[in-house]
Amino acid sequence: MAHSPSHQFGQLIGDFLEEFVGVLLREFVGNHHGLYLDGKHNARPARKGKKVAWTDDKENVHDLDFVIEKNGTDFAMGIPVAFIESAWRRYSKHSRNKAQEIQAAILPLANQYRLSNPFLGVVLAGDFTAQSLDQLRSCGFSVLYFPRKVLISAFKQAKINIAYDEKTPDNDFLSRIQSLEKLTAKQRQRIQDSLRKHFCDEIKGFLGRLNGRFVRQVSSAAILPLFGAKRSFQSVNDALLFLKTLDGSPTDLPFVRLEIHLFFSNGDEMKASFEMKEDAIEFLREYTDKLS
Last residue of a domain, one of 190, 215, 240: 215
Residue 78: is its pLDDT beyond 90?
yes
Instruction: Note whether 277 and 231 are same-domain residues.
Output: yes
Instruction: Note whether 189 and 279 are same-domain residues.
Output: no
What is the spatial distance between Cα 193 and Cα 186, in angstroms, rounded to a whole number? 10
Instruction: Note whether 225 and 89 are same-domain residues.
Output: no
How does strand 52-55 pair with strand 61-64?
antiparallel
Kindly give the residue spans of alpha helices, DSSP state H, lying in the chain: 5-30, 95-112, 130-138, 148-156, 170-181, 185-198, 200-215, 236-245, 277-285
Instruction: Note whether 32 and 147 are same-domain residues.
Output: yes
CB-CB contact of 220 with 267 (8 Å): no
CB-CB contact of 77 with 63 (8 Å): no
Residue 39: is its pLDDT beyond 70?
yes
Task: State percent of the chain over pLDDT 70.
Answer: 96
Report the sign of the C-alpha dihedral through residues 267, 291, 37, 153, in that order. Answer: positive
Question: Which residues, other chains included, contact 218 with Cβ-Cβ below 8 Å and sequence gap of 6+?
Answer: 262, 263, 264, 265, 287
**pLDDT for position 77:** 93
Strand partners, 63: 53
Residue 1: is its pLDDT beyond 60?
no
Angle at CA of residue 214, ends 209 and 219, nearest 5°: 100
Per-residue pLDDT tens over the stretch 161-216? 999 888 899 899 999 999 999 999 999 999 999 999 999 999 999 999 999 888 77
Instruction: Note whether 157 and 45 are same-domain residues.
Output: yes
Domain at 59, CATH number: 3.40.1350.10
Residue 278 lies in domain: 218-288
Domain count, the chain: 2
Lowest mean pLDDT among 26-30, 75-79, 278-282, 284-288: 284-288
**pLDDT for position 101:** 94
Last residue of a domain, one of 182, 215, 248: 215
Instruction: Note whether 193 and 83 are same-domain residues.
Output: yes
Residue 292: is its pLDDT beyond 50?
no
Last residue of a domain, one of 215, 242, 264: 215
Per-residue pLDDT tens over the stretch 90-122? 888 888 899 999 999 999 999 999 888 899 999
Greatest mean pLDDT among 147-161, 238-252, 256-270? 147-161
- Fill in the DSSP letter of residue 33: T
Instruction: Note whether 132 and 255 are same-domain residues.
Output: no
If pLDDT is split at 50, 70 and 90, which confidence band does 42 have?
Answer: confident
Instruction: Note whether 191 and 284 are same-domain residues.
Output: no
Task: State percent of the chain over pLDDT 90.
Answer: 58
Which 3 state secondary structure label does DSSP give 172?
Answer: helix
What is the spatial distance between Cα 132 and Cα 100, in angstroms, rounded to a whole number? 8
Half-sphere exposure of 111 (CA within 13 A, CB side): 11
Lowest mean pLDDT among 135-149, 221-235, 237-251: 237-251
Instruction: Note whether 47 and 187 are same-domain residues.
Output: yes
Residue 155: is its pLDDT beyond 50?
yes
Instruction: Note whether 284 and 186 are same-domain residues.
Output: no
Instruction: Note whether 63 and 95 are same-domain residues.
Output: yes
Instruction: Note whether 208 and 230 are same-domain residues.
Output: no
